[in-house]
Amino acid sequence: MGTDEELKELVKEKYGQIARQSSKQKAGAGCCGNGPNTIDYSIMGDDYKGIEGYFNDADLGLGCGLPTEFANIKEGETVLDLGSGAGNDVFIARRYVGESGRVIGIDMTQDMIDKAIENNQKLNYNNIEFRLGEIENLPVENNSVDLVISNCVLDLVPNKEKAFSEIFRVLKSGGRFCISDIVLNTILPDKLQSAAEMYAGCVAGAIQETDYLDVIKSSGFSNIQIVKEKNIKIPSSILMNYMDLNEIDEFKKNLNPIVSITVVAEKN
């Protein structure tokens, strides 16, 4: 599937395309961008509408959960959103931290950063900042953040051990994270695992749920809990681009092979 750098460039390209799309186009944007053979993100995403702080222009439909729902965000806190995209979760988090708090969004795609800044100019918040950077090398000081959130982004990071070690580094003692992500309960078929488009779509880049939790634990976190879990069903019309009918039937014999989980954990 390529080197780590090649995969990052793939993700930048795909998500850059999504960021540049108009509002009408984004409604059909999927995990792998637009087109008849791509995944519609509605398969994975939760509905944000009606949530306080929600700003429609910032919702590109790219999540697989609602990390702010379980983050217990408090007024005055400093919140860091990893893979902040057009700012959707950043603006919702800002509703909770209030004027006395601060929210920082990190994204490695310049087009997403530009779109997020544009959205923030419309809202005129002065305690929000968007920074260009990679999760494996966060442009954030040690022990400076109360809460880290992320929505369907860590599965796109090739080096998850480094990603969680960076999360641990930037969190204050007693800090916490709330992350929604895609994980697996089975081994993906080789054809699906090697599909670059599926990687950009958060599927082939996902790891086993048990391995995911082990990475979190080995990074030093405690009180690790899965607070929400949702099955992800990829339509046969999509799978047929990567597997034959027999392989699809075999794949579907697995119970809940692909799931979205929301995980919380603390740094002591």
pLDDT band at 81 (very low <50, low <70, confident <90, very high): very high
Q: Report the alpha-carbon distance of residue 228 to residue 53 in Å, rounded.
A: 22
- Please, which pLDDT band fits residue 3 given cuts at 50, 70 and 90? confident
Cα radius of gyration rounded to whole Å, the chain: 18
How far is 207 from 190, CA to CA, in rounded Å? 14
Q: Which domains does the chain have, with CATH numbers?
A: 4-266 (3.40.50.150)
The residue with tokens 């544009």 is: 118
What is d(CA 19, CA 29) in angstroms, rounded to the nearest whole number? 10
Token output for 139: 């442009």
Q: How far is CA 104 from the centre of its chain?
A: 15
Strands 222-231 and 258-266: antiparallel
| pLDDT for the residue 45 | 66
**In this predicted structure, what is the pLDDT of residue 41?**
47
Judged against a pLDDT cut of 50, whether residue 36 lies above it is answered with no
Query: Structure tokens of 122?
Result: 């419309």
The pLDDT of residue 236: 82
What is the widest separation between alpha-carbon atoms in the chain?
Answer: 57
- Give alpha helix (H) positions in 4-123: 4-20, 23-26, 88-97, 110-123
Percent of the chain, pLDDT > 90?
Answer: 60
Between the ranges 44-58, 89-103, 225-239, where is the mean pLDDT highest?
A: 89-103
- Binned at pLDDT 50, 70 and 90, residue 252 comes out as confident
Number of H helices, E strands in the chain: 10, 7
Of the listed ranges 31-40, 72-81, 165-174, 242-251, the least confidently predicted one is 31-40
Assign 86 to helix, strand or coil. coil
The pLDDT of residue 238 is 81
* Residue 127 pLDDT exceeds 70: yes
For position 102, what pLDDT does the model report?
Answer: 98
